[in-house]
C-alpha cells in the first residue's frame, strides 16, 4: 500500500476510509514493559538522543497493536537545550530547567538555532523509523511543542499549577514576551519542517498548557504567534495536527490558528467539539486517558459513544484527549484499537 493511501493520512484529508484510524498519544512509553526495560539502562535524554534507541522505542507499540500511525519518540522540550537552557528529567519530578527565564535579558540571550543544532538526533531517529515504516504503509508523526507551552516551561523551570511567573512576564513585559514567542516560532517551525524533510508523514503541535489561559489572553498573547507557526508549516507538504488541552472554552479561536486536523481533549463531547471547529476540518480524539484504566465493560461503551458522535463522517482520527498513563493495562490498548477498527465507517447521507 502506498503511504498516501494509509487510513490515517486519508482521514487527515477527510477522505472516506474503511475503518476509523487509531493511534494514541504517548503510545511509545511507560506503560510498555519493553520500554521500561530500555529506560532501566538509559536516562530519558540518552534514550531520546540515541537515534537507534529512539527509533526502537517508536516501533515498539506497532509490534503489539494494529495502530494506524507511529509517533517519533522524543520530547517537546528538547529544542530548549539548543536555545541555551539546561534541561534534565528528574525521577519523580519530571523535566527541570536549571536556568529558567526570569527577566527580559534572559530572553535576549536565547539563541534560535536551526533544527540540525537543536534536534539532530531526533531527525536521525525519524530517518531510521521512517525507513522501517514507510514500506509497510504506516505513517510516522513528527511533533513539537507550541510556543506558549515551551515558553511556560522555560519561564517556570518545570511544570506549574498556576503558571504565575509566565503570566506575570506576559503581562508586565509584553515586548519581551513577543521576542520570546518570535524566537520559539522560528525554532519550532524549523524543527517541524525538518522533521517532515527527514521522513515524518504528518506533524503534531502540542499546546499542552495553553488551557491555563482565558480567551482574551489567548487571543492577545498566543493566537498571533500560533497563526505565524501554522503559516510556516504550510510548506511542510504534510498534514498538521493542531492539538491543545483545556481550551474548550475557546476552541474556535484555537482552530482559527490553522492546522489540517484539530486535536481535542475529553472535556467536550466529540460532536460538539467538531461543530465548534467546523465540520470542514478533520478532528482527532477524544477518549479520557483514565478511561483506559477501567474494565472493558465500562471502557467499551465510552469508545462506542465517541464513534457514535463522530457519526461516520470522514475526517475522524480516534485518539485520547491526552497521553496514555503509565498505569494503562496493555490489554486495554489492544482492545480499544481492535474495537475501533471493527466499527465500519460509513459517510452520512
Residue-level length of the chain: 349
- For residue 285, which of 325, 314, 317 has the smallest C-alpha distance? 317
Active-site entry in 30, 227, 267, 309: 30
* CA dist., res. 204 & res. 260, Å (int): 10
Contact 102, 155 (CB under 8 A): yes
- In the numeric block, which cell numbers belong to residue 315? 475526517
Helix (H) or strand (E) holding 332: helix 330-342
Strands (E), the chain: 70-71, 87-90, 94-97, 140-145, 202-207, 240-244, 261-263, 282-287, 316-320
DSSP-derived secondary structure letter, 240 = E
At residue 324, what are phi and psi to the nearest 5 degrees? -55, 140
Question: What does R_g of the chain's alpha carbons equal in angstroms?
Answer: 19
Active-site entry in 7, 14, 26, 313: 26
What sign results for the dihedral spanned by CA atoms 128, 134, 136, 140? positive
Active site (annotated) includes residue 75: yes
* CA dist., res. 129 & res. 151, Å (int): 29
Contact 252, 275 (CB under 8 A): no
Active-site entry in 39, 127, 179, 309: 39
Active-site entry in 35, 68, 75, 190: 75
What sign results for the dihedral spanned by CA atoms 97, 101, 102, 105? positive
Other Cβ atoms less than 10 A from the Cβ of 8: the count is 26
Active site (annotated) includes residue 39: yes
- Helix, strand or coil, per DSSP, at residue 234: helix
Active-site entry in 31, 153, 163, 230: 153
Give how far Cα 241 sits from Cα of 5, 13, 70, 206, 335, Å.
18, 11, 14, 9, 25
Report the DSSP pairing between strands 94-97 and 140-145.
unpaired
Active site (annotated) includes residue 30: yes
Catalytic residues: 26, 30, 39, 75, 153
Amino acid at each position: 500500500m502506498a503511504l498516501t493511501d494509509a487510513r490515517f493520512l486519508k482521514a487527515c484529508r477527510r477522505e472516506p476510509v474503511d475503518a476509523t484510524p487509531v493511534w494514541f498519544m504517548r503510545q511509545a512509553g511507560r506503560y510498555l514493559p519493553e520500554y521500561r526495560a530500555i529506560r532501566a539502562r538509559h536516562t530519558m535524554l540518552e534514550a531520546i538522543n540515541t537515534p537507534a534507541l529512539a527509533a526502537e522505542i517508536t516501533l515498539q507499540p506497532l509490534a503489539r497493536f494494529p495502530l494506524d500511525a507511529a509517533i517519533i519518540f522524543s520530547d517537546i522540550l528538547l529544542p530548549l537545550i539548543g536555545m541555551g537552557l539546561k534541561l534534565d528529567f528528574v525521577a519523580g519530578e519530571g523535566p527541570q530547567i536549571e536556568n529558567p527565564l526570569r527577566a527580559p535579558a534572559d530572553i535576549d540571550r536565547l539563541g534560535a538555532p536551526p533544527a540540525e543544532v537543536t534536534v539532530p538526533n531526533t531527525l536521525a531517529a525519524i530517518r531510521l523509523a521512517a525507513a522501517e515504516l514507510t514500506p509497510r504503509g504506516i505513517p510516522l508523526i513528527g511533533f513539537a511543542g507550541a510556543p506558549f507551552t515551551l515558553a511556560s516551561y522555560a519561564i517556570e523551570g518545570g511544570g506549574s499549577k498556576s503558571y504565575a511567573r509566565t503570566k506575570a512576564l506576559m503581562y508586565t513585559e509584553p515586548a519581551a514576551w513577543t521576542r520570546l514567542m518570535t524566537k520559539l516560532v522560528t525554532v519550532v517551525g524549523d524543527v517541524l519542517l525538518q522533521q517532515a524533510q527527514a521522513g515524518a508523514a504528518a506533524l503534531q503541535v502540542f499546546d499542552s498548557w495553553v488551557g491555563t489561559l482565558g480567551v482574551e489572553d489567548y487571543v492577545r498573547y498566543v493566537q498571533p504567534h500560533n497563526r505565524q507557526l501554522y503559516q510556516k508549516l504550510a510548506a511542510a507538504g504534510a498534514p498538521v495536527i493542531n492539538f491543545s488541552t483545556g481550551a474548550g472554552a475557546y476552541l474556535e479561536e484555537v482552530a482559527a490558528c490553522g492546522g489540517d486536523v484539530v486535536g481535542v481533549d475529553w472535556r467536550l463531547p466529540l460532536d460538539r467539539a467538531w461543530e465548534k471547529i467546523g465540520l470542514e476540518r478533520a478532528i482527532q480524539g477524544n477518549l479520557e486517558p483514565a478511561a483506559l484504566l477501567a474494565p472493558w465493560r465500562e471502557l467499551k461503551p465510552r469508545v462506542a459513544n465517541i464513534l457514535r458522535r463522530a457519526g461516520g463522517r470522514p475526517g475522524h482520527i480516534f485518539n485520547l484527549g491526552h497521553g496514555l498513563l503509565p498505569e494503562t493495562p496493555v490489554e486495554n490498548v489492544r482492545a480499544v484499537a481492535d474495537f475501533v477498527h471493527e466499527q465500519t465507517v460509513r459517510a452520512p447521507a
